A and B are shown apart, each in its own frame.
Chain A
Amino acid sequence: MWPDFPLVPEAASSVAREVDLLTLGWLAISAFFTTLIAVLILVFFIHYRRRRAGEVGSTREVRTLPLELTWSLIPLFIALGMFVWGVDVFFTVTEAPPDAVEYWVTGKQWMWKVQHPSGVREINALHVPVGQAVKMTMTSEDVIHSFYVPAFRVKRDVLPGRYSSVWFRPTKTGRYHLFCAEYCGTEHSLMGGFVEVLSAEDYERWLATGTTGPTIQASGAELFQRLACDTCHLPGTDPGATPLRAPSLHGLFGAQVALAGGRTIVADETYIRESIVNPQAKVVAGWQPIMPTFRGQVTEEQLAALVAYVKSLGGATPAVAPGETGAEAGEPPRAEETRRGEPGEILAGEEPVTQ
């Protein structure tokens, strides 16, 4: 393609080529059938044009079944084949590899707020190291948004009240558009910025320019104490200790939880979040529904920190060492210092999307 007038966006993630290939496959099929139909129509239009008034087309009876079967079954098999290919690509695009580093994203009208695993935060910008698989765990403070980076060929709706995730492994350093793809109100088209893919060294350097703060798990742990969650859930102490008033959170994440009422669910991010803001919705079997709600007392980003902390207490995903969180739990909150931008602010060195 000529550079000034691209037909395909830059392919800057590990899955981009696969998506493009799938598209190319469909394009070839589409071009074939469209051309076939167009050529046939033109040829018939010219060749069988009416030559005299009152002329009639062929009234011969024809057997249609063989042709009908041909042009039903061939497209059917093609479509089913493409369906399988499409599903395959879909799972490649959506299933995060185990080594993906988790970032936390909060969408709100009309900005993206990102928390790096190191605790650094940024707004309407995302810095990631090249070659590293990263997973965005995302939620929204208000309406539905959609996290979309065309160069990575990934998109995922960001819903209020639950977590969704998107992952990518950038393969090229550079600057790529980050869009909100789900219409979210007045400044929908301005809700976005750039993803900066940096080399590993540049990323470290970039992280160092911001004030270092506690990791997201550590701020979660601090919050856990400040909100006195630990008085009932006791996770700071010995993982084996038996809590009296509430279930232990050690090893909770990813585990099957039996609920009062007989149902069993998997403890995922959304469940942990719901248990904080609406604790009585799903009470663990054998415990009283005595936990008060924390709705309105914690922001969506603090919720993310709490969820990240509970995740770090072990479970299906690799956990942060318990000692680490315990040690940092006592540190004063540093969240304000680590902010890298105010809401609405466009970070230095970045052009607004719309000039």
Chain B
Amino acid sequence: MIKWQKNMVKIGALATIVLALAGCSTAKSNGSGQGNNPGKTIKIGVNMELSGSAAGYGQQQKQGIQLAVNKINKAGGIKVGNTKKKIQLVVRDNKTSNTTSASVAAQLVNNDKVVAVVGPAATNAGTASIPNMTKAQVPSVSPSATDPGYTLQKNGDVQKYIFRACFQNNFQGSSAAKFMTNNLKAKNVAILTDNSSDYGTGLTKAFKKTYTGKVVSSQTFQEGDKDFNAILTSLKHKKIDAIYAPGYYSELGLIIKQARQAGINVPIVGSDGMADAKLAKIAGNSNTNNIYYTTPFSTKSGETNTLAATFLKTYQAKYHTTAPTFSALAYDSVYMIKSAIESEKSANSVKITAGLAKITDFKGVTGTITMNKNHNPEKSMTIEKLTDGTVSQAYTIK
């Protein structure tokens, strides 16, 4: 028994050492705090969903990024002060996993020493990368993280190193609500939400907040669902003037198809996740009537925006399809970084961050962008109408 007590003392001593060491590791300060600097080239990281459930969207964004980088490099690179430096892309797959996204972010900023990151596509993967981006003082621009809180800290302050190129949900959701009341005169609507990510649920929340008419029915679906007949049949005999369905084109295409086949012909309004030529391909052109969606990027905008026109043309030439919104947003993300480097005359990551925060009247494919204090781009929104599978009309919303 006495021996046992003696040993207890020994354990106690060891435990004290362990705790002291633990303290030592946490007390260690975190580097000098100057961010990453470029070498011969400007290294830009891509933290993207290239496999897993969001891979379809991630791959489209990667295409947009590559298009932008090729174009910049062909013109000699980015002007940093007096020299021109080419961009070197470091593309890494985060598997649509939040844990991996954090790891990819750490690798990009610590090992690859990139000066800026484009991505991730989804809000959750994005927020998982924030701690590592912030620690290394490297900015990231997400082409499609739409949660209003994405660029904000818990106390409401802005996340210093986090930017996005897309609209946040509140703006799109409330715009859709206003549009449905004012333009479509819809008094009774049904809502069909993609319930598998923040995107659909966030838009629905914002929509419900603004919409003044009556929400007759609010139903949800999951990403990967293919059969919506049950929900649509239950809506058929309800008196509804329109359907608000925030989600992505893969599911929305099927909803449109099955709704029209079931004889539901009311307008269906969605969000920029629908803005893809594949929507009409999946739904079938003859079914794609009376479809509206909010989008920052109109394929019609080529008529007024020359940048968009060239983008659409080069994209078509390279990938043989009409450029989807995700590619356009990712394309703009790269150019926003370029613009920040040029205005700050430095490709140091902290400087780029400052440059990104100061972006004003940046001419992009998805519109003229001004970064507001919460790192959300302010740009005009378009609502497109599809008739027989093609854009027949575009409404601009300020």
Query: Do A and B originate from a single complex?
Result: no
Contact residues of B with A, CB < 8 Å? none
